[in-house]
């Protein structure tokens, strides 16, 4: 898996620091992943696959793995862009919830009720649904 992470990062022209910034981890973590000293798991694995726009299985096992194209934004993470990749449920009732459709790349912010409707629709449509709590 480390080789696939490194291959994508290098193909995109990103440094370990840039990937770490986007994933909100430190650079040493990216280095450990790439060298196979530790493996990303749980939310980190989902976030990494979401960033690279590939399936967790392709990243983890290499099945059907193809190098994804770099994001179209030439400035990459240096522009401070947040990469939405989850449904983030708010701690308090007044906060916005981010809902991301990885199928078409769309995203929206709304209230908790709208997020739950989107989650239910995804499940009814036999889609894989991720909920990430921070």
What is the predicted pLDDT for the residue at 88?
44
Number of domains composing the chain: 2
Domain that holds residue 130: 84-134
Find, among 67, 62, 64, 132, the residue nearest to 102 by Cα: 132
Residue 74 belongs to some domain of the structure: no
Least confident of 23-32, 43-52, 83-92, 111-120: 83-92
Q: What is the pLDDT of residues 81-107, one digit of tens each?
A: 444 444 444 445 555 666 776 666 666
Q: What is the pLDDT of residues 1-23, one digit of tens each?
A: 999 999 999 998 999 999 998 88
Element spanning 106, H or E: strand 106-110
Residue 126 belongs to some domain of the structure: yes
What is the predicted pLDDT for the residue at 130?
64
6 shares its domain with 64: yes
> How crowded is residue 86: how many other Cβ atoms within 10 Å of its Cβ?
20
92 shares its domain with 53: no
């Amino acid at each position: 898996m480390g080789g696939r992470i490194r291959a994508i990062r290098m193909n995109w022209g990103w440094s370990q620091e840039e990937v770490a910034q986007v994933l909100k981890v430190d650079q040493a973590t990216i280095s450990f992943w790439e060298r196979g000293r530790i493996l990303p798991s749980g939310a980190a694995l989902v976030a990494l696959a979401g960033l690279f726009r590939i399936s967790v299985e392709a990243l983890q096992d290499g099945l059907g793995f193809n190098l994804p194209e770099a994001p179209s934004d030439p400035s990459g993470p240096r522009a401070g862009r947040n990469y939405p990749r989850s449904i983030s449920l708010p701690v308090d009732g007044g906060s916005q919830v981010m809902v991301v459709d990885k199928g078409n790349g769309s995203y929206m912010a709304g209230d908790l009720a709208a997020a739950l409707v989107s989650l239910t629709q995804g499940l009814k449509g036999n889609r894989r649904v991720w909920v990430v709590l921070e």
